[in-house]
Every structure is written in C-alpha cells, then in structure tokens.
Amino acid sequence: MCGILAYFNRNGISEKELKQSLNALQKIKHRGPDGEGVVLINSKTGAFHNLITVETPDAKQENKISLNEALNLDYDLILGHRRLSIIDVSTNGHQPMPHASGNWIIFNGEIYNYIELKKELIQKGFVFKSDSDTEVIHAAYLNWGVDCLKKFNGMFSIILYDSKTKNLFIANDRFAVKPLYHYEDTNRVLLISELKQAKEFDFSFNLNKEAISVYLNNQYIDYDNTTFFKEINRHTPAHYTNVPLTEPIDYKEKCYYEVLGKSNSQINFEDAKAQFKDLLKSAVNLRMRSDVPVGFASSGGLDSSAILYVTHEILKKNNRTDNINTFSAVFPGDTNDESAFIKIVEEDLKVKSHYVNPMETFDIKDFEKHIYHQDEPVLSTSFYAGWAVSRLVREKNVTVLLVGQGADEILAGYHHHFYRYGRQLILSGKIIAYLSELKKYAAIKSLKVNDLHRIIMNDVKLSLKFKTGLAKKSGHLADKWNRADKLTELLKIDLTETMMPFYLRADDRNAMAFHVEARHPFLDYRLVDFCMSLPDNMKIKNGWQKYLLRETMHEMPETIRYRKDKKGYTTPQDKWLVQYKQQFEDNLQYLPEEYKNIKTNNIFFKYALGTWFKMNHI
C-alpha cells in the first residue's frame, strides 16, 4: 500500500536530519506515487506542523508550513508517508493521519476486515470522518489498546504516536508481509520500510558478515531479524513494542501471535474440506476489497488456480466474472514453460490473460534494477520473473494482485515436506503406512522407489545423529531445521524462518517496485491456524501433497487439481548465466576483497551479492 519513515531524536532534529529524512522518503517513491505526507512533532509540548512538499496533496491539514519555515521550528519527531491509494482514494485517507485524541499514525498495508471492525467501533460510540482502514486503526487502538492487533486481519506495519503516553506504538502483522526495519541508539530511533532509506543518514553502518556468510553458504536470508547491516534489524513478525520518547531508547519487542499448530485430530475429512473452503473463500473475499482494479497471478499451478476458482465462485453470484484479469510469466520453447496449464484455466474460466516472457526482457541492466528494488540479494532468477510480472501488472493499470504464496508452507507442498513426513512415519514405527506412501509418491513423481527410500533414510540417519550427538552442528538455523522430526514442526519453521520471510520480502519488493500491492489469501491467519491444526494425513495422502486442497477444489479441471509437477517460475537461469557471464563477472569487482575469492556451491549467489554491492554503492 505505501512506504513509511519515522525518525526521533531526543536532542531535536537538525536541518540536515530533516533533509535526510525527506530524501529517505523519496527513495521509496515507487512504493507510494500518489502523494507524500510529513508531520513534524514536538513530543515534549505536543505541538505539530504539517510540512507541505511539492507532492503533498491538497488535504484538509492544520498548521501547514513550507520547508523554509520548518527550519526555524523546534521538534524531535518526524513521521513521513508515501501513499499508494487503494482504500478511500480521496484525500480523507491522507497520512500521517491525526486523531481527535491527539494521536498520529503512519501505516503501510491493509486491514482487510476494517469494515466489520468499523461497525463494531461505531456501536461503541466512535465517529469516523473517512472510509479508510487507517482511521479504523486509530479507533481500534484507543478502544482495545495493544489487543487491537489480535482483531486485525491484514498485512501491516504500524507506527502510532500516542500523545498521552508520549510513546511510539510500533507493530507489524503476524507474518511480516509488510516490511519494517529499525535503527536505534540511546537518543535516536529510525523506522523505515526499505533498507535503502537508511543510507540517506549519516549513521555508521557495518556489514553483517555472518548474515552474508549464511547467505553464500547456507542459502538462508531473512531467516531472523538481522539484515546485511549490523546496526539495522527487521522488526520481528507478530511483535509490537512501545518506545517511550521520554526515556533512553529501548526497543523491546513483545509477541502477540504464535503459530501453535495445536492438533485437531478429531475432525473428519468432510468437515475439514467444508471448513477449509469456507475459510479460503472468506480470505479471498476480504482481499478483493479495493477501490482500485484487482488482478490475479496465474501460473497454471494448484495454488494460484485455487484462488482463481474461488474468486470466480464469489463473483458469479453478482454476474461479474467477465472482469477477471490474470498475469503470468511464460517461457515459450523452454522445458519449464507452464503456458499449457495457464491456458487450461484461462479457457475454463474465460479470464482475461496477460503474459510476459522474461526471456525477452532479461538483460543485465534489468537484473540490476531488480536487485536494487529487492534491497538484498535473491536466491535465483525466478524472482526476476516475478518482478517482470509486476511490471506487466502496472502496465495494465492494475494496482492489487492476489498471489498463491503460502499454500506450500501450510499444506506441505514442497518435496522436502514429503521426505520429512516419511522420516516421521519411520521414527514413529508406522512402517506399513510409510511404504504405502513411498510407492505412491514415487509413482506420481516418476521416481525409483529405492532412490526415494535412500533419500528418506538419509534423513532418518541425520535425525538419529542429532539425537546421539554425532551430528556436526553448524550453529545456524540449519541445525534446527534438520532436527525437526515432525512434519508440522518443519512447516512452522518454513513458514516463520527458513522460507516464507524471504518469499514475502521478494513479493513485496517486486510488487512495490511498480507500485503494485501483493496480497496473500493463504496467509490469512485463520487459514494458517486451521491448516496447522489438521492431521498430517490430510496434507499428504496417497502420495499427494496438499491433499486437502486438491480434494476440496472439485470445480477445478483434473489436469490442474492433480497436476504432478511443481515449478513456480522456473527460469532458464543456467542459460542466462552463460549468456551474460562477462557482465556478471564484472559485477564481482564491487565485492569487498574478503568475498572476491570466497567459495560457494552456486556461483549465482556470488553474482547476486556483487550486483547488490554495486547497486547500493557499498
């Protein structure tokens, strides 16, 4: 939806710091091209002034001042906002948004259930001046305090200045779909949407060599709250903090939500299907709320197709199915091209399909722009394909894009999930069940049973080595991942640490690079909690992964519902690395000396890192 910045300096903000803050807001203009808002607050007296820039809309603002006038003011807090208008596109939704209580808010994201919450708050006596979800956050915070976060169904980064307590209330959504980073010392705190904003300030930044090493050697990134800079941390998903502005800065986060995975072993399969379908339909319906055009990612795979079929079912009731726009990456002539599957869905639902061929758009300069927008390196060129799709979405004047990300993590869709399920069955003594699943999975994937069994037995041996103390421990997340014997435990790790955080960062940066908002129905927390509670044999059964989703979506063609392969924007990366080898090699010159000769099992990681150093002028 937007990009935000908050900067507090207990000793007052200088002219230089003000200009640095404004430059940092301009750095993320791509996130919010529809306007800029800046308020300057004196937290000691409560005085405020709305700074009017050339991109500030003509909203109903009090105490308007110019940049020259601001230079003579005494203030210690800046709240800045770049707006992408989606809900209540009028200036009534302008941020930073004040409240009659004296509070101020800057907010990036969407509260999907804001209509329901607004009705509840009106019954409690609250009066609203806009149709925005931002104003609902104000009222919800006043009514429920910190517990308002548990009421929100959405994706968000929230920074709210509480004028009574003189605190900054800072929070993000349960899975950190919307980014938020912080830098702090005793007297200052900086909060930003993207790392590149921090480079506008004169702070001392040092490379986080451990994070870079983990990326190169273990292929983990965004796995915890650290970044590639030691002094900047990612706000922890599902956490909040209250930062008192009257005391030395203390950024202590508290958790308000956890993926528990409590077992619901008593549920029968028919009830599970019905509940799952209702939750998915509700999740999609909420995420179609928008005052601007909505589109849908389509890969011809199970997850994106499920969202499309649920959408079609919802819109069919109002005879609106003629306006479903889908967006896809295709690779004509390549073995990984998914065009045939995309066409099946397109023809069945009569959607309006739009395609981009990343092989036609890819060159080294385009890849460099992609890495710049990503803020940190990526794991493969498949993320460039997502970037190219987002560019296509913007070219077609669509602002919101629903994507299928998240289904694999909650319904066991990756190959390693089956391997771990096999390990779990063996360790729990369910050998007959294991052999049955083994043979069926091998048949579906066209694998040799003995080869598959060998992979799983190696996984079993690894578990036993950890239990007996024979495993060589790396001290990193890989140990935790390898020790997880239960499928649900592994799913939680993938969802919260190893996989989903990076995918969400990639989705956010790819989409926002072209001022497009990506939404994820499968990450509706109600759906996540429900799926995590289900017995494992509803996720993997008869060799089929995401079994519950396949069995629920009967309206989907069998060729999609029981599609055997799994791709997900598989690009011709090896061809590109050969074709542009010299240009990639040239970017290695930007690496610090200590990384130029470092060994990695995949040269792409080194190329991506070199490109990141180049594009960020580090």
105 and 170 in a single domain? The answer is yes
- The per-residue pLDDT for range 122-150, each reduced to its tens digit, is 999 999 999 999 999 999 999 999 999 99
pLDDT of 617: 78
547 and 430 in a single domain? The answer is no
pLDDT of 322: 82
Assess contact for 109 and 174: CB atoms under 8 A: no
- The per-residue pLDDT for range 164-196, each reduced to its tens digit, is 999 999 999 999 999 999 999 999 999 999 999
Q: How confident is the model at residue 1 (pLDDT cuts 50, 70, 90)?
A: confident
Number of DSSP helices (H) and strands (E) in the chain, helices first:
26, 21
Encoding tokens for residue 195?
Answer: 């790392």
217 pLDDT more than 90: no
* Beta-bridge mates of residue 292: none
Output the average pLDDT for the chain.
Answer: 95
Domain assignment present for residue 403? The answer is yes
Assess contact for 175 and 496: CB atoms under 8 A: yes
225 and 96 in a single domain? The answer is yes
Assess contact for 532 and 278: CB atoms under 8 A: no
23 and 36 in a single domain? The answer is yes
Domain assignment present for residue 177? The answer is yes
Gap between the Cα atoms of 456 and 435, Å rounded: 11
Q: How confident is the model at residue 568 (pLDDT cuts 50, 70, 90)?
A: low
83 and 209 in a single domain? The answer is yes
- The per-residue pLDDT for range 272-308, each reduced to its tens digit, is 999 999 999 999 999 999 999 999 999 999 999 999 9
pLDDT of 618: 67
pLDDT of 261: 66
- The per-residue pLDDT for range 469-480, each reduced to its tens digit, is 988 877 778 899
pLDDT of 255: 98
Encoding tokens for residue 268?
Answer: 């029968």
239 pLDDT more than 70: yes
Domain assignment present for residue 561? The answer is yes
How much of the chain exceeds pLDDT 70, in percent?
Answer: 99
Angle between helices 415-427 and 431-445 (to 10 degrees): 160
265 pLDDT more than 90: no
Domain assignment present for residue 494? The answer is no
Domain assignment present for residue 491? The answer is no
pLDDT of 60: 83
Task: Write a three-state SS string for 491-551.
Answer: HHHHHHHHCHHHHHHHHHHHHHCCCCEEECHHHCHHHHHHHHHCCHHHCEECCEECHHHHH
* Beta-bridge mates of residue 82: 3, 36
166 and 98 in a single domain? The answer is yes
Domain assignment present for residue 493? The answer is no
Place of tokens 């001022």: 515
Of 31, 8, 170, 28, the closest CA to residue 79 belongs to 8
452 pLDDT more than 80: yes
**DSSP output for 121-163:** HHHTT---SSS-HHHHHHHHHHHHGGGHHHH--EEEEEEEEET
Assess contact for 95 and 83: CB atoms under 8 A: yes
User: Domain ends where: 547, 568, 589?
Assistant: 568
Q: What is the domain count for the chain? A: 4
- Beta strand pairing status for 104-111 and 97-98? antiparallel
Assess contact for 406 and 500: CB atoms under 8 A: yes
Q: How confident is the model at residue 104 (pLDDT cuts 50, 70, 90)?
A: very high
pLDDT of 566: 78
Gap between the Cα atoms of 23 and 51, Å rounded: 14
Range of the domain at 512: 269-410+499-568
**DSSP output for 25-76:** HHTTGGG-TT-EEEEEE-TTT--EEEE--TT------SSEE-HHHHTT---S
194 and 248 in a single domain? The answer is yes
Which phi and psi angles does 544 have, rounded to 5°? -95, 130
Exposure b/e, 310-336, CB count within 10 A at least 16 = b: bbbebbeeeeebeebbbbbbbbeeeee
512 and 460 in a single domain? The answer is no
Assess contact for 109 and 87: CB atoms under 8 A: no
586 and 517 in a single domain? The answer is no
190 or 600, which is more confident? 190
pLDDT of 606: 96
429 and 559 in a single domain? The answer is no
205 and 89 in a single domain? The answer is yes
Gap between the Cα atoms of 41 and 419, Å rounded: 55
- The per-residue pLDDT for range 397-451, each reduced to its tens digit, is 999 999 999 999 999 999 999 999 999 999 999 999 999 999 999 999 999 999 9
434 and 458 in a single domain? The answer is yes
Gap between the Cα atoms of 450 and 454, Å rounded: 6
pLDDT of 326: 98
Gap between the Cα atoms of 341 and 457, Å rounded: 34
Residue 333 Ramachandran class (φ > 0 left, ψ -120 to 50 alpha, else beta): left
Domain assignment present for residue 575? The answer is no
Q: How confident is the model at residue 97 (pLDDT cuts 50, 70, 90)?
A: very high
Assess contact for 237 and 159: CB atoms under 8 A: no
- The per-residue pLDDT for range 491-534, each reduced to its tens digit, is 999 999 999 999 999 999 999 999 999 999 999 999 999 999 99
pLDDT of 592: 93
Residue 178 Ramachandran class (φ > 0 left, ψ -120 to 50 alpha, else beta): beta
Q: Which CATH number is 203's domain given?
A: 3.60.20.10
pLDDT of 410: 98
Domain assignment present for residue 260? The answer is no
Gap between the Cα atoms of 98 and 60, Å rounded: 11
